[in-house]
Amino acid sequence: MDISELDKDIFEKIEKIKSHHGKEEAQQIEKAFRYALEAHGDQKRRSGEPYIVHPVETAVILDDLGLDVDSIVAGLLHDCIEDTPATFQIIEKEFGESVANLVEGVTKLGKIVYSSKEEEQMEDLRKMFIAMAKDIRVIIIKLADRLHNARTFQYLPPQKQREKSLETMEIYAPLAHRLGMQNVKWELEDLSLKYLDPVGYAEITGYLDERKVAFNKFLETVQSSILQRLEQAGISCRIKARLKHVYSLYRKMYGQNLTFSEIYDICAVRVIVHDIADCYNVLGLIHDMYRPVPGRFKDYISTPKPNGYQSLHTVVIGREGIPFEVQIRTEDMDQSAEYGIAAHWKYKDGLSGKQKEEAFAWVRQLLESQQDSDAEDFIKNIKVDLFADEVFVFTPKGNVINLPQGAIPIDFAYAIHSAVGNRMTGAKVNGRIVPIDYTLKSGEIVDIITSKTTNGPKRDWLKMVKTAEARNKIKQWFKKECREENIERGRADLERELRTALLYDDFQSEDVQTAVLKRLNFPSLEELYASIGYGGVMVSRVIIKVKEEVTRLNREKHGITKPVVQKPKAVGDTGVIVEGLDNCLVKFAKCCTPIPGDSIVGFITRGYGISIHRTDCPNVLGSMKKEEEAGRWIRTEWDYSEKHKYQTGLRIYTQTRVGILADVITVFSNAKVNVNELSARDDTEGHSILYITVTVSGREQLEFLMNRIRRCPGVVDVKRNINETGSGK
Ligand code: MN
């Protein structure tokens, strides 16, 4: 556009912003201004002004708030991606990644569709803003953008005025409040009230206008009397006097149903002093000067408001009979009250750690996933990832649905209603068909496609959904809709798994069934089947319990109990404790291949350390009878706290049958047990003997395997292998 057409005013504003910053930063600001000017070209605001006025005013607000140069530059460029040919890449190249991210963030926030809702929904919308902003500066820029737009609401058509005002009142003003930015909040509220309740607004402004002169005169007198009194008391202070903003009076009149004469704090005086002690001193002096209204004193210094606001408040009656509010606070408190989170940039050294912490209490409260990071860090890093674990999406009617990160349209459907989920056949996101396992993102509009003829949810949805709510509702459906089918499916699933785990026969025992049902808390086998059928209990979990109970019952039957282990430590990583020695060479005898669970004894060899045998090994019995060897036997035990694997041998007597070897091997491979050696020998009577060496954890496992092998057709007997001829000592 022709620059000469532009109001001089615009250039003065830019120069003023630049004057607040260093040379390099001023150049950045100038560059951004020129860029925006060029990009917006001949675009006009509804007011008829050149478009550039808006970004410049936004930047002025940001500069007043004291924001950093990146934010001001982003403020100047904030409508470029949306309204001009400029792209993220171009802005990133010209102004850096940080600015580009801010501009993009503001653009995204602008795309949130808004419609008025109940308070709960509004809170979710506000959270969505924060969640989508990622960087708190994005919200502040958006607030500045909205503030300037609100200042020019008069140029909008009436319908838009109401819509935008409502949005401002319900989203932007509360956000400003939560971020502690009082002045922005007040102005946004007053500007929107004008269109939301023009009559109420006119009533209050009319009343204030009528009395403006009188009130101002009154405030002037009060101000100078207080100043004088404090000077006498040796307290240095700054006093600000003002009339309360329109919306706060409006809330009192319409919310609390008060008349003007019942509102005590139309006039307000703020006394700003050096330290907290002076705050209380000033309070005493004021109460001495003016009659306090009982019950109107509030100490927000010792108990700050949730957004970190700190101040003493009291209401007193002036000499003219006019009541007024007095706020007393320190300079720091005043700065953070006016600028809130933005005070961090404006007064970098002005806020104490505690004040900062409190000023951002709300934001911190939202930082659920970052509870440990302290306020200092949070502010330093500015980039915030609030609600990293949540997404906020819209229904087509504009309701906000809050879901966990990673949620898919099925979760959304069930969050709306079970009937929607159960009839779901597909989903649209922002008008486009998406897969049902599409990962939802904040701000998206989700539309569930349903059909009355659908047969309910699919079983594999259970594995896809993210929310417990959806999972439960799907399970509920299967539970209710098809009990018979569930029982059949559950029975088949369990039987199949029992067979694979070689537990099918064990499970036929009534003892085992009773024990397992009790462990899993099911009243009957049928209920257990039904539950497996609709996904209420995982079949793998049932198998684990069956295995545990089978082992427990077997052990009880065979009287296998674990020996009490004493303090001594096992030698090396052998899992064996040798009496009196904790550092010696230990090996396991080849003749009897002992494993944990076997009773063992050690033989002190000549030069080969300790050899471990089973106490029932024939070699041990023979050796103990020999005088010269008897004294070399030493007590040993297993250390059951150690988990090792051991090789041991089995001897399997079978009828000679084709395929029997394969059957036996299958037992081991199903149990995931390693077979180390295998040989077979046929005897003369039509029998075979298989010699197998396997790696097991102990006797418990070995016995489990031996029981399995005994059940293979054609197996006559299974024994531990003992090699009587080898000495192995
Ligand atoms: Mn804008």
Catalytic residue among 12, 83, 485, 582: 83
pLDDT (0 to 100) of residue 555:
79
Buried b (16+ CB within 10 A) or exposed e, 634-661: bebbbbeeeebebebbbebebeeeeebb
pLDDT of 329 > 90? The answer is: yes
pLDDT (0 to 100) of residue 27:
94
Which residue from 554, 498, 489 is spatially nearest to 670, judged by alpha carbons?
498
d(CA 18, CA 30): 8
pLDDT band per the 50, 70, 90 thresholds, residue 413: very high
Q: At how many degrees (to 10) do helices 97-110 and 119-133 cross? A: 160
Q: How far is the CA of 54 from the centre of ligand 1 (A)?
A: 7
pLDDT mean over 388-403: 75
| Other C-beta atoms lying within 10 Å of the C-beta of residue 564 | 7
Known catalytic residue: 683? no
Going from N- to C-terminal start, the domains of the chain cover 3-194, 199-346, 388-479, 482-558, 646-720
pLDDT of 368 > 60? The answer is: no
Q: Is 360 exposed, middle or buried (0-12, 13-18, 19+ CB in 10 A)?
A: buried
pLDDT of 195 > 80? The answer is: yes
Which residue from 600, 616, 597 is spatially nearest to 700, judged by alpha carbons?
597
Q: How far is the CA of 80 from the centre of ligand 1 (A)?
A: 9
pLDDT (0 to 100) of residue 292:
86
Contact call for residues 293 and 316 (beta carbons, < 8 A): yes
List the single range of 92-96, 119-123, 577-581, 666-670 with lowest mean pLDDT. Answer: 119-123
pLDDT band per the 50, 70, 90 thresholds, residue 684: low
Domain 646-720 classification at class level? alpha beta
Q: How far is the CA of 459 from the centre of ligand 1 (A)?
A: 48
pLDDT (0 to 100) of residue 351:
43
Query: Phi-psi category of 535—alpha, beta or left, where left has phi over 0 and alpha has psi -120 to 50?
Result: left
Here the tokens at position 425 are 């056949």
d(CA 369, CA 404): 12
Locate tokens 């709960």: which residue? 120
pLDDT mean over 86-94: 89
Locate tokens 């904790």: which residue? 582
In this predicted model, which residue has the larger pLDDT, 570 or 518? 518
Q: How far is the CA of 180 from the centre of ligand 1 (A)?
A: 22
Q: Which of 12-26, 99-113, 167-181, 680-694 has the highest mean pLDDT?
A: 12-26
Kindly report, residue by residue over 94-143, the tens digit of the pLDDT.
999 989 988 988 888 777 766 655 666 666 677 666 666 667 788 889 99
| Other C-beta atoms lying within 10 Å of the C-beta of residue 260 | 14
User: Could you say which architecture CATH assigns to the domain 388-479?
Assistant: Roll (3.10)
Locate tokens 């085992």: which residue? 512
pLDDT (0 to 100) of residue 16:
93
d(CA 256, CA 476): 47
d(CA 39, CA 421): 47
Q: How far is the CA of 75 from the centre of ligand 1 (A)?
A: 8
Residue type at 640? Y
Mean pLDDT across the chain, nearest whole number? 82
Q: Distances in Å between the alpha carbon of 590 and those of 40, 168, 417, 614?
A: 90, 85, 68, 11
Q: What's the chain's Rg over C-alpha atoms?
A: 41
CATH number of 199-346: 3.30.460.10
Q: Is 442 exposed, middle or buried (0-12, 13-18, 19+ CB in 10 A)?
A: buried
Q: Is 169 exposed, middle or buried (0-12, 13-18, 19+ CB in 10 A)?
A: buried
Query: Phi-psi category of 105—alpha, beta or left, where left has phi over 0 and alpha has psi -120 to 50?
Result: alpha
pLDDT (0 to 100) of residue 385:
40
pLDDT (0 to 100) of residue 85:
81
pLDDT of 485 > 70? The answer is: yes
Q: Which of 208-217, 553-562, 683-692 has the highest mean pLDDT?
A: 208-217
Q: Distances in Å between the alpha carbon of 682 and those of 19, 654, 690, 722?
A: 103, 9, 9, 18
Q: How far is the CA of 55 from the centre of ligand 1 (A)?
A: 6
Q: How far is the CA of 90 from the centre of ligand 1 (A)?
A: 19
pLDDT (0 to 100) of residue 567:
53
pLDDT of 381 > 50? The answer is: no
Contact call for residues 421 and 407 (beta carbons, < 8 A): no
Known catalytic residue: 82? yes
Q: How far is the CA of 32 from the centre of ligand 1 (A)?
A: 15
Kindly report, residue by residue over 446-470, the tens digit of the pLDDT.
999 988 887 788 888 988 998 888 8
Domain 3-194 classification at class level? mainly alpha
Which residue from 155, 158, 156, 186 is spatially nearest to 172, judged by alpha carbons?
186
d(CA 713, CA 708): 11
**Residues shown for the chain:** 729
In this predicted model, which residue has the larger pLDDT, 463 or 571? 463
List the single range of 30-34, 203-207, 439-443, 624-628 with lowest mean pLDDT. Answer: 624-628
Q: How far is the CA of 389 from the centre of ligand 1 (A)?
A: 29
Catalytic residue among 49, 82, 94, 663: 82
Residue type at 344? H
Contact call for residues 600 and 576 (beta carbons, < 8 A): yes
Q: How far is the CA of 61 from the centre of ligand 1 (A)?
A: 12
Q: How far is the CA of 85 from the centre of ligand 1 (A)?
A: 16
Percentage of residues in the chain having pLDDT higher than 90 = 22
Helix (H, G, I), strand (E, B) or coil at 600: strand
Strands 610-614 and 586-588: parallel
Q: How far is the CA of 51 from the centre of ligand 1 (A)?
A: 10
List, in sequence order, every beta strand (DSSP E) within 351-445. 390-394, 400-404, 424-429, 432-434
d(CA 37, CA 16): 17
Cβ neighbours of residue 38 closer than 8 Å, sequence gap 6 or more: none
Q: How far is the CA of 146 from the centre of ligand 1 (A)?
A: 7
Which residue from 562, 555, 567, 573 is spatially nearest to 598, judged by alpha carbons?
562
Kindly report, residue by residue over 32-67, the tens digit of the pLDDT.
999 999 998 888 898 888 999 999 999 999 998 888
Kindly report, residue by residue over 225-252, the tens digit of the pLDDT.
999 999 998 999 999 888 888 998 888 8
d(CA 416, CA 474): 13
Residue type at 526? E
List the single range of 158-162, 294-298, 421-425, 625-629 with lowest mean pLDDT. Answer: 625-629
pLDDT of 635 > 90? The answer is: no
pLDDT mean over 531-541: 84
Which residue from 82, 30, 81 is spatially nearest to 56, judged by alpha carbons?
30
Q: How far is the CA of 77 from the centre of ligand 1 (A)?
A: 9
Q: How far is the CA of 391 from the centre of ligand 1 (A)?
A: 25
Which residue from 183, 40, 176 is spatially nearest to 10, judged by alpha carbons?
40
